[in-house]
Amino acid sequence: MENYSIESPPEPNARQQRITRILLFIWLVLGIIVAALLCYIASAAFRPVPPTPHLVGEVTEYPPNSVNLEFINADFFDETANKEFETLPLQVARDANGNFTVFFARSTNPSEAILIPGQCIVEWDASLEKFLELCGGSQWQRDGTYASGPAPRNLDRFPAHVENGNLYIDLKLERGAARP
């Protein structure tokens, strides 16, 4: 019978130990780089998309102290009406100092908001100096604050800015404050 003995593997020499440590270090660094890259890619998937500004018109179309009804093409989901709109009715108000406020030209009352854009658009009445919504009878001041009627709050508005002589809005609706 043959005699088998279990021998322990020979001890690695100093050179082999150094090479092993260097290779482990390289693999560790590569693993950290790959993990960081994967975290960056995963976080990019959850970043919000910045809003794209929508052109309303040229600034010269809106003289100081004016209110103008405009319609723009934009895909927008209105939570008050609980439906998608392809065409937005807007009331563009410009004050004497040249500042713009862009109101969503629909009632803040949900039962009336669903009727736009074909009906019940909030109109500007220059003789009364008020915004009027004739279907429900709501009224708002020039600055969009509630005046009278069944509307539950001030007019909603879109953030507006001027760039290169053009007026733009962001499709991030700012809800009007609740009426007193």
CATH of residue 121's domain is: 2.102.10.10
Neighbours of 14 (CB within 10 A): 8
In terms of domains, do 67 and 134 share one?
A: yes
Helix, strand, or coil here: 179?
A: coil
Could you list the residue range(s) of the whole structural domain that residue 85 is in?
54-169
Does 1 map to a domain? no
Exposure string for 40-62, b = 16+ CB within 10 A, e = fewer: eeeeeeeeeeeeebbebeebeeb
Mean pLDDT, rounded, for 76-98: 87
In terms of domains, do 29 and 89 share one?
A: no
Helix, strand, or coil here: 155?
A: coil
Residue 42: what pLDDT? 83
Residue 106: what pLDDT? 85
In terms of domains, do 118 and 160 share one?
A: yes
pTM here? 0.71
In terms of domains, do 65 and 142 share one?
A: yes
Does 88 map to a domain? yes
Mean pLDDT, rounded, for 104-118: 74
In terms of domains, do 37 and 68 share one?
A: no
Residue 36: what pLDDT? 92
Residue 154: what pLDDT? 94
In terms of domains, do 30 and 114 share one?
A: no
Q: How many domains does the chain have?
A: 2
In terms of domains, do 35 and 77 share one?
A: no
Report whether 172 contacts 49 (CB < 8 A).
no
User: Which range has highest mean pLDDT (46-55, 128-137, 155-164)?
Assistant: 155-164
Query: Tokens 């260097």 — which residue?
Result: 22
Does 106 map to a domain? yes
What distances in angstroms separate CA 172 from CA 38, 50, 63, 82, one per listed residue?
31, 10, 25, 15
In terms of domains, do 39 and 126 share one?
A: no
Residue 115: what pLDDT? 63
